[in-house]
Amino acid sequence: MRFLNLLWLASLLWLAGCATTGTPSDTTSGSAPVEAGTAAHTPLYPSGPLQPITPGAAGAYAVAGISAPADLWDRIRRGFSMPDLDTDLVRDREQWYATRPDYMQRMTERSSKYLFHIVEELERRGMPTELALLPYIESAFNPQAVSSAKAAGMWQFMPATGTYFDLKQNAFRDDRRDVLASTRAALDYLQKLYGMFGDWHLALAAYNWGEGSVARAIARNEKQGLGTGYTELTMPAETRMYVPKLQAVKNIVADPERFRTELPLIENHPYFQSVEITRDIDVSLVASLAGIREEDFRALNPSLHRPVILAAGMPRILLPWDNAQVFRRNLEAYSEGQYASWTVWTVPSTMSVSAAAKRTGMSEADLRQLNGIPPRMMIKAGSALMVPRATTTRQDVSGHLADNGQIAFTPEIVTRRTTVRAGKRDTVASIARRYKVSAADVADWNDVKTSSAFKAGEAVVMYLPVRLSKTSYARTSPRQPVAVATKARGGKAATAPKGGTPSKRKR
């Protein structure tokens, strides 16, 4: 009897293991969207008495592989679950990528720092791993890429859409370039779009063109009795090519030998670790303590605008896996001086760059370069400037300032010498009021007393302001050399339905 019970239990466990692999239909995208945190396949457990497995029932299931992926490419291939697109545009893009091996090599090597994290997040959410290849299409996996429409980062977020998905954009950092934050936002957005349209190709079209534009295109086709699939909608050329580009890269990753392409080895292992930061600290010091070059640090933390990390706004940084522990150990032992050479000063009133430089003990050139101040601009009151930190100061920048600090500018007021004609009974005071200058200045310019009167028709010397621009000029980050996203920017402005997500792109 005990033997029969053990046999029954073993059979039950064997059936449960087979059932967890799911049916062939699970790999299509026609099913309902998978919410974040759920598995891609729901285990099927027997209910009621066990029955013999028929040949037909056995054929409906696949055997789950137990071998670990050889590398990250293999892992990505195993997670492909979007329907394939087979069109002439796909073949055209396959040819384009296959005939540019140097470009493919640079692009895939650059992705090696970020790809493992993206795949992990996709699998955790139960999303198709094809989406890990999307930054190849968006930015060639360059987190510093900026499009002509001001979309930034490897996932190419427009400013408004980035704000909608809580990507901070301030004087000190731009989270649209942050590896963790932008990936979280992009996958949130893609899940939202898939929930709206129930089709990954349409979700991708909406990611590129805007959900409102795709919804209107579908409505137009429905009104005309036409199909509403991706290939049946009328859309801009860029969006028309968008999914074919992704499909082409997917095909090359699936079978690189067929396209005579060699993919660089990317191990199925994290490239970086997240490290906690509790105090403001210079970027150069972090790189030194971690034993890496500053450019390598910035490649993993590309959101930073400034030479210092403000702990209240960026409490975690990314370091190469093997260097993270080196940094922790060296930071604990560090006792050679202050951690941060820079702090933030809030400008109390609108002032010239030269006046601000004197207040902060910097040269005008250094203040301009550090804070990205354009020529012929004044700094507006309330702006957050990065300035040297006194060696005796231990107070770090507040969380509110670290998350919300901005820099705004207004054109300098340039004066020009001119003359005006005095009217009857005009005085120094009346002319000063008319031109909104001080009476003392009018008297000084004309070598008279402030109580003096002018004769009718007398020429009065004035120095009146000449505005360089009618509108103020505002920036949130310094000018930096950045790579431009490789893709074309066509089409019209796309807006979201009322109450929806701002369009990802604004053309």
pLDDT by residue for the chain (507 residues), tens only, comes to 554 454 444 454 444 444 433 333 333 333 334 444 444 445 555 566 666 655 545 444 555 556 778 899 999 999 999 999 999 999 999 999 999 999 999 999 999 999 999 999 999 999 999 999 999 999 999 999 999 999 999 999 999 999 999 999 999 999 999 999 999 999 999 999 999 999 999 999 999 999 999 999 999 999 999 999 999 999 999 999 999 999 999 999 999 999 999 999 999 999 999 999 999 999 999 999 999 999 999 999 999 999 999 999 999 999 999 999 999 999 999 988 889 999 999 999 999 999 999 999 999 999 999 999 999 899 999 999 999 998 777 799 999 999 999 999 998 877 889 999 999 999 999 999 999 899 999 999 999 999 999 999 999 999 988 754 443 344 444 434 334 343 333 333 333 444 456 655 543
pLDDT at 46: 58
Copy the structure tokens of residue 202.
Answer: 């349409």
For residue 451, the SS3 value is: coil
CA 450 from chain centre, in angstroms, equals: 58
Domains 72-259 and 413-467 in one fold: no
- Give the predicted TM-score (pTM) of the model: 0.75
CATH classification code of 413-467: 3.10.350.10
Q: For residue 500, give the 3-state DSSP assignment.
A: coil
Q: What is the pLDDT of residue 415?
A: 82
Is position 138 annotated as part of the catalytic site?
Answer: yes
Work out whether strand 384-388 and strand 473-475 pair parallel, antiparallel, or are unpaired: unpaired
Q: Which CATH topology does 72-259 take?
A: Lysozyme (1.10.530)
Strands of 377-379's sheet in order across: 377-379, 407-411, 473-475
The DSSP code for 151 is -
| Percentages of the chain per state (helix, strand, coil), in multiples of 5 | 45, 15, 45
The per-residue pLDDT for 414 is 79
Longest CA pairwise span in the chain (Å)? 126
Among 121, 130, 138, 211, which one carries the catalytic annotation?
138
Task: Give every CB contact of residue 142 below 8 A, 6+ residues apart in sequence.
Answer: 110, 154, 483, 485
> What is the chain's Cα-based Rg?
31
SS3 call for 389: coil
Q: Where is 415: in which H helix or E strand?
A: strand 413-421
Q: Hey, where are the domains in the chain? A: 72-259, 272-333, 342-411, 413-467
Give the model's pLDDT for residue 42: 53
Sequence letter at residue 158: M
